[in-house]
Amino acid sequence: MSTKVAYDLSLFNSNGKVTNDAEKKVVDISQVSESYKPVVKRKHNFLAILSFALIAVVGFMVCTALIKSDAMLSELNNQIARAQEELKEEENAYSQYKMQVESIYSLRVIEDYAVNVLGMVKVENNQKNYVSLDEGDKVEIIQDSENKNIIQKIISAIFGLSSS
C-alpha cells in the first residue's frame, strides 16, 4: 500500500468498492450461472432409507388390508343378508305348504274319506280296551346261567361293555 494518498484507489474495483489483496478474487454475481449450485457432499444413511421404505411398505399394506377387509366384510354382510332373506322366503313357503297339507288332511276330510271311500266304520266304545299304566315301569332282569364257561363269560362281558 502506498503511503502517499489517502486511499489507494488500486484497491477499489471499478464500482468503487474497497477490495484488499486478500479479497481480490471478486465474485461477480451477474456472471454466476443460475444453474450454479454449491455442491454439498452428503453422507447417505442407508438405514434411514431402508426404514423409511419399510414403514412406507408396511403402511401401504396395512391400508390395503384395512380397505380389503372392509370390502370383504361388506360383501359377507350382503351375503348374510341375502341368505337370511332366502331363508325367510323358504320358511314362509314351508309354512304355506304345511298349511295346505294340513287343510288337505283335516279331520273332516280324513273322516269323509274313511267312511265314504274306504267304507270304514268307527270302532264301538265297547270294543275299546283300556290299559292302565298306573303301576309304573317294570324292569325285567335276565338271570345269567351258572353253567357258562370262561370263554362264554368273557364274550358276555364284552357284549355287556359294548351295549352300555
Partner 1 sequence: MNNKELNNGNVKKKKHIKGPKIRLWHRTFVVLSVIMILFLAVIARIGYLQIVQGESLQKSAINQQVRELEISAKRGSIYDTNGEVLAQSATVWNIILAPIYIKDDIEREYIVENLAKILDLDKDDLMENSKKKSYYVTIKRGVNKDVKDEVLTFVNGIKDAIKDSYPKNSKGDSTYSNTNIGSLIVTEEAYERYYPYQDFASVVLGFTGSDDQGLYGLEYQYDDVLSGVNGKILTTTDTHGVQTPFSYEQKVEAIDGYSLVLSIDETLQHICEKYLEQGIIDNKVANRAVAIMMDVNTGAVLAMAVKGDYDPNNPYKIMDEELAAKIEEIKNDDERAEARYAAQSAQWRNKAISDVYIPGSVYKVVTTSACLEEGLVTKDTTFTCSGSYVPFPGSASIGCHNRNGHGTQNLKQALSNSCNPAYMQMGNLLGVDNFFKYYKAFGFSSKTGIDLPGEAKDIFFTTLGYYGGMSLSDLAVGSFGQNFSITPIQMITAMSAIANGGKILQPYVVRQILDSDGNVVKTTETVVKRQAVSENTTSQLAEMMQYNATYGTAKNGYVAGYRVAGKTGTSEAKRDANGDGIKDYIASYCGFAPADDPKIALLVYFDTPLSANYYGSAVAAPAFAGIISEALPYLGVEAKYTEEELALLDTVANNYIGMSVAQAKNKISEDGFAVIVKGEGANVIDQVPANGEKIPKGGTIVLYTDEVSTDDTVVVPNLTNMTLSNVNRVAALYNLNISISGMPSSSSGELLSYSQSIEEGTSVKEGTVILISFKENDEVM
Distance CA 12, CA 26 (A): 11
Query: For partner 1, which residue of 4, 43, 128, 138 counts as binding (CB under 8 A)?
Result: 128
- The stretch near partner 1 (CB under 8 A) out of 11-19, 25-33, 36-44, 152-160 is 11-19
Query: For partner 1, which residue of 20, 30, 125, 164 counts as binding (CB under 8 A)?
Result: 125
**DSSP output for 31-74:** GS-TT----------HHHHHHHHHHHHHHHHHHHHHHHHHHHHH
CB closer to partner 1, 127 vs 164: 127
DSSP type of residue 142? P
CB closer to partner 1, 65 vs 99: 99
Query: For partner 1, which residue of 45, 51, 64, 96 counts as binding (CB under 8 A)?
Result: 96
